[in-house]
């Protein structure tokens, strides 16, 4: 497991808003903060879907490539247990960057009517079924998709800390993520509301 500071990630203090985008499902705001020398991001929007349905949608990892605008080449579940799963995904990145992969252990979180899928990276070497090919393993990925009831549906939030590794500087990773997170949130909401 990768070291994490969940208290800092979930604390609403210390975040700086860096983007406010309008996507096909509405407004998405993006914030960032530093935790343990990593730039971490939070994206927030809304959905007409319930927290339970949003969690079911994001939890169905094998179906993600059918609705995600990310160029995922693999999205497979490696192991499942009660409220827990381990899955791996691979992402096709444009030249000159190497493709990336990650293995995540995800758990369901139920807090009253709110729901979340919380994850942390595991080493790919621990899972023989992972076939990385030429993809580079991301050294850091931990965070959560969180869904809280709101008037007319749910607040949808992605909070996480990631480092895609390689020679991509942190500022460029953050710049790219502030642009891709609103699209990811939009993809999830669109699928859940379908």
Judge whether residue 159 has pLDDT over 60: yes
Residue spans per domain, the chain: 23-193
**Distances in whole angstroms, Cα of residue 144 to Cα of each of 5, 99, 119, 160:** 13, 23, 6, 6
CATH number (1.10.3720.10, 3.30.530.20, 1.10.150.120, 3.40.720.10) of 23-193 reads: 3.30.530.20
> What is the gyration radius of the CA atoms in the chain, in angstroms?
16
pLDDT for the residue 11: 92
What's the whole-number mean pLDDT along residues 117-130?
96
pLDDT in tens, 70-96: 889 999 999 999 999 999 999 998 887
Output the CA torsion sign for 156, 152, 191, 79: positive
pLDDT in tens, 18-66: 989 888 889 999 999 999 888 899 999 999 999 999 999 999 988 888 9
Is residue 186 within 8 Å of 194, Cβ to Cβ? Answer: no
Predicted model pTM: 0.92
């Amino acid at each position: 497991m990768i070291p994490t500071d969940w208290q800092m990630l979930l604390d609403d203090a210390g975040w700086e808003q860096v983007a406010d985008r309008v996507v096909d499902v509405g407004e998405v705001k993006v914030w960032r903060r530093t935790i343990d020398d990593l730039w971490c991001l939070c994206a927030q929007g809304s959905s007409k879907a319930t927290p339970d349905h949003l969690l079911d949608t994001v939890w169905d990892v094998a179906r993600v490539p059918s609705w995600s605008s990310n160029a995922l080449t693999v999205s497979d579940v490696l192991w499942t247990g009660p409220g827990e799963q381990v899955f791996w995904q691979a992402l096709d990145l444009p030249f000159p960057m190497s493709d990336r992969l990650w293995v995540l252990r995800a758990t369901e979180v139920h807090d009253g009517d709110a729901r979340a899928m919380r994850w942390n990276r595991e080493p790919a070497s621990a899972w023989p079924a992972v076939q990385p090919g030429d993809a580079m393993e991301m050294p850091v990925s931990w965070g959560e998709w969180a869904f809280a009831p709101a008037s007319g549906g749910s607040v949808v939030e992605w909070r996480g800390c990631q480092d895609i590794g390689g020679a991509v500087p942190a500022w460029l990773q953050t710049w790219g993520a502030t642009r891709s997170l609103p699209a990811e949130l939009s993809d999830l909401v669109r699928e859940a509301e379908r």
